[in-house]
Amino acid sequence: MQVVIVESPAKAKTINKYLGPGYEVIASYGHVRDLPAKDGSVDPEHDFHMLWDVDPKSQKRLSDIAKAVRGADGLILATDPDREGEAISWHVLEVLKEKRALKDQPVSRVVFNAITKQAVLEAMKNPRMIDAALVDAYLARRALDYLVGFTLSPVLWRKLPGARSAGRVQSVALRLVCDREREIETFITREYWSIAARLATPRGDEFEARLVGADGKKITRLDVGTSEEAMAFRQALESSDYKVRSVEAKPARRHPYPPFTTSTLQQEASRKLGFAPAITMRIAQRLYEGVDIGGETVGLITYMRTDGVDMAPEAIASARSVIGRDYGDRYVPSVPRKYTAKAKNAQEAHEAVRPTDLGRRPKDVLRLLEGDQAKLYELIWLRTIASQMESAELERTTVDIDAVAAGRALELRATGQVVKFDGFLTLYREGRDDEEEDEENRRLPALTAGEGLLNKGIKTDQHFTEPPPRYSEASLVKRMEELGIGRPSTYASVLAVLRDREYVRLEKRRLMPEDKGRLVTAFLESFFERYVEYDFTADLEEKLDKISAGELEWKDVLRDFWLNFAAAVGETKDLRVSEVLSALDEMLTAHIFPPKEDGTDPRLCPNCGNGRLSLKVGKFGAFIGCSNYPECKYTRPLAVQSGENGEAVDTGPRVIGTDPDSGLEVTVRDGRFGAYLQLGEAKDGEKPKRSSLPKGLAPADVDLETALGLLSLPREIGTHPDSGDPILAGIGRFGPYVQHGKTYANLDAEDDVLSIGINRAVALIADKQNKGPGRGRGAQGGRELGAHPTLGGPITVRPGRFGAYVNHGKVNATLPKSMVPEEVTLEQAVELITAKAGSTPAKPARRSASADGATKAKKPAAKKTTASKSAATKSTAKKPAAKKPAAKKAAAKAD
């Protein structure tokens, strides 16, 4: 009996059917080990010794694999055909060696690019050993990511409260988004005019020609910059005689696009289907693993993590056969097409993403697939077939025209394009804008040199240059690939991390940096510039590729990196927060203090009139405050809001009206925690009356009546029918509420704090009293997921005022926005809690010296497979440091 290890249970079931008796196929469920999320998992002082923890949810699976291997004739490692798959095979083999499950059984590695019977059986005929160079490249990449994340992130927590994390690729991707935003903010709009003549042939055929030259000089797009210049050209053209100087028609060919790679699939699925990269990869995974066709599970596409663009000879032959049958021999090129990747650092060991059977048309599998799966399969099928079709044949015509006026010689040009043979365009066009489509289909009438033309009107249009567009997820992926940053398989996860960390947000399918993302990028550019440089990151990726090719020793690359990186981190230890704020204030000036339209100083405090505004930092992150604090307590968010095109929007106090009782102005303002209302100004050190806005009420929609009602809160609704005590309605730190004695009940979204009646208030109070106190008994009422597999104690998922979270003991880990609380599993909760515990260095260390240590003594933690004595000694020596006051203070700041 041969034991075969694959990654997913779906794949295991399918491959078991293909191989039949004599084989037992077992799933590892992806990675089985990882670096523990704590300090010391990679030890540069001991030749980058790495500690690996077996994933708690993998313990039983590995035991089952070991049990099966002990009685087997051989072990076949058949995980995915990429670096991650190679690493998983290596991890499984290492664990089996430690469990002494292997004796004399032969061990081999097989890879297949598609889950079809033919591909799997062919792979079994060509076994090999685990590729040591690929494993080394994985180890180097994993160590680098760990060293950057676990070394740089604590620096961020100490020097920049509110920051979440930094990463080797993540931070560079964030810089791309922030740099683009900076370009938009500093962009200077420039006026220009376009001038065109509507002309007609003697036969009455009309077309348009644009002005391209005057008096022997070329006129480019931005050369006509004022209305006076435009009007002068218009007058000259209106009195000109027109004659065709030359007509040039050139044949042209447009070649098809290569089949999909991981990144081009993500880009086109985003443009054409509106799928985020993570969604595209999730759907592609399902298509790769297959669907049931005639009682047999069949993979519909080849492996979706690749940057190769070529296809197997049999796939090319199949595509050409389909093209001939469906579109005719005219659409089949005489020679099959071969493609090579143009992306930097491309690895072409695997095929492009393509259907496993090109004869399986989209309509044939429509009823077998879910809606999004069918859309993605059709996109992949169309692109693959089109890649082997004949080129489109075009004719591009350029007509130069002379316009002669009194004392002036003007030149105009008209261009057109005609598709003579559509070729691959009959099937597939890459996502483009409307302007490109119009240009492609523009036709010109028949014209001959020397022919006179009639003037049918002159058109002058004013334009303004626009800043570069913000990145979409597709264009950011494309840019990262062009620069050689990261790998195709990581793009989706990098974008997901940026959004989960709330460093960027997606608006109208465009990525916009959040203030905390801008701060992190500015900090890294100021103090770790080299490590967020595009060329440096791309060069490091190239070295990792050379490791995978066996050209570099992986630990040599780590030593070179760590020597300079550790020194750069050391230089920041003595930095004062004030120095950091000063550097960030200067770098982000265009963002936080954009010029005002009236020309006044944007740093002048609008409250006291003589204070200077600058960047401040508090326990909740950065904000803008006045230099006259505490006399002047003016604050606002980090940056003024910006419109759709990046223009600044005034966020200063807006006067709504005057309170008829006090005669004081009522204003709506922006603060660190959002918009709020204020009555009058601070006087004699007393704070003015303020009220936050209820959720869903936009500052622009607040009128005087609503504002006065909110400022009058809390208001008495009536008396409770049982106690006779008053029931009040107000807005607190957790939103609108009703209060009866010591019972506070939050209002639902449909309740209005200004109009809620006594009956509804009594019902909310009664409901809250039945549930119990929110921070006491009620807080314990979350959904229990089970006991922690290594530390013991219950794990629960609970609602919180900042969103749902999972709890274990004193550790609370917020759920990512993409995770549904009702669907959270114990395994997912353990991962979140482990990551959270590892991200707060001081507190976990203090607990592990006492309570956690006692727990571990009773029940062993996840097994450390390569722990060294020196690393254990180092870890133990560090624990008492957590009790020092300085460490406690640092931990508080980090939180």
d(CA 404, CA 187): 38
Looking at the predicted structure, is the pLDDT value of residue 638 above 90? no
Residue 375 has what pLDDT? 95
Q: Where are the domains of the chain?
A: 2-130, 139-187+469-578, 189-216+229-243+399-406, 262-387, 715-771, 788-894
2-130 against 262-387: fold identical: no
Secondary structure class of 715 (helix, strand, coil) = strand
> Which residues neighbour 753 within 8 Å (Cβ) at sequence distance 6 or greater?
694, 710, 713, 729, 730, 731, 736, 737, 747
Q: Which residues of 469-508 are buried (b: 16+ CB within 10 A; e: fewer)?
A: ebbbbbbbbbbbbebbbbbbbbbbebbbbbbbbebbeeee
What's the CATH architecture for 2-130?
Answer: 3-Layer(aba) Sandwich (3.40)
Q: Reduce the DSSP state of residue 295 to 3 states and report it.
A: coil
Highest mean pLDDT among 75-79, 287-291, 763-767: 75-79
Q: What is the three-class DSSP state of 772? A: coil
pLDDT tens digits along 247-264: 999 999 999 999 999 989
Cα maximum dimension of the chain: 101
pLDDT of 555 above 90: yes
User: The domain 262-387 belongs to what CATH superfamily?
Assistant: Topoisomerase I, domain 4 (1.10.290.10)
Check residues 343 and 26 and name the one with the higher pLDDT. 26
- 504 and 177 in contact (C-beta within 8 Å)? yes
Minimum mean pLDDT range among 588-602, 692-706, 779-793: 779-793
Beta bridge pairs of residue 812: 807
Read off the pLDDT of residues 669-679 as tens digits, 9 standing for 90 and up.
Answer: 866 566 788 88
54 Cα distance to chain centroid: 29
* pLDDT at residue number 882: 40
Condensed to tens digits (0 to 9), the pLDDT of residues 116-171 reads 888 899 999 999 999 999 999 999 999 998 998 888 888 887 777 667 778 888 89
pLDDT band at 771 (very low <50, low <70, confident <90, very high): low
For residue 652, name the pLDDT band (cuts at 50, 70, 90): low
Whole-angstrom distance, CA of residue 286 vs CA of residue 514: 33
Of all residues in the chain, the percent with pLDDT exceeding 90 is 36
> Strand locations in 72-205, DSSP E?
74-77, 107-109, 191-200
The answer to whether residues 845 and 879 touch, using CB atoms and an 8 Å cutoff, is yes
Count Cβ neighbours within 10 Å for each residue of 294-321 and write b for 16 or more, e otherwise: eeebbbbbbbbbbbbbbbeeebbebbbe
Q: Is the pLDDT of residue 184 over 50?
A: yes
| Alpha-carbon dihedral angle through residues 540, 545, 549, 552, given to the nearest 10 degrees | 10
Q: Can you give the C-alpha Rg of the chain in angstroms?
A: 33
What token pair was written down for 117? 């019977």
Q: What is the average pLDDT across 79-100?
A: 90
Q: Quick one: average pLDDT of 846-859?
A: 37
For position 801, what pLDDT does the model report?
A: 62
Q: Active-site positions?
A: 303
| Residues 807/795, Cβ–Cβ less than 8 Å | yes
Sheet with 665-671: strands ordered across: 654-658, 665-671, 674-679, 689-692
| Among 231-235, 530-534, 701-705, 803-807, the least confident range | 803-807
pLDDT band of 872, cuts 50, 70, 90: very low
Mean pLDDT to the nearest integer, 618-637: 81
Instruction: Say how far apart CA 131 and CA 840 lie, in whole Å.
Output: 37
How confident is the model at residue 830, as a pLDDT? 85
Which residues are CB-neighbours of 644 under 8 A, at least 6 positions away?
A: 508
pLDDT at residue 220, as a whole number: 92
- Residue where the block lists tokens 């300085």: 886
Q: Which two tokens stand for residue 380?
A: 């992949």
Asked if the model's pLDDT at residue 479 lies above 70, the reply is yes
Instruction: Look at residue 611 and give its three-state secondary structure.
Output: coil
N- to C-terminal Cα separation, the chain: 53
Question: With bands split at pLDDT 50, 70 and 90, how would you rate the model's confidence at 325?
Answer: very high
Domain range 139-187+469-578, CATH architecture: Orthogonal Bundle (1.10)
Residue in 303, 276, 275 with CA at minimum distance from that of residue 287? 303
What global pTM score does this model have?
A: 0.69
Residue 38 Cα distances to 165, 791, 843, angstroms: 14, 16, 12
Q: Look over the chain and give the mean of its residue pLDDT values, rounded to a whole number.
A: 83
Q: At what angle do helices 83-98 and 132-159 cross, to 10 degrees?
A: 100
Report the pLDDT value the prediction gives residue 772, as an integer from 0 to 100: 56
Measured CA to CA in angstroms, residue 383 lies from 355, 380, 387, 587 at distances of 10, 5, 6, 44
Between strands 2-6 and 23-27, the pairing is: parallel
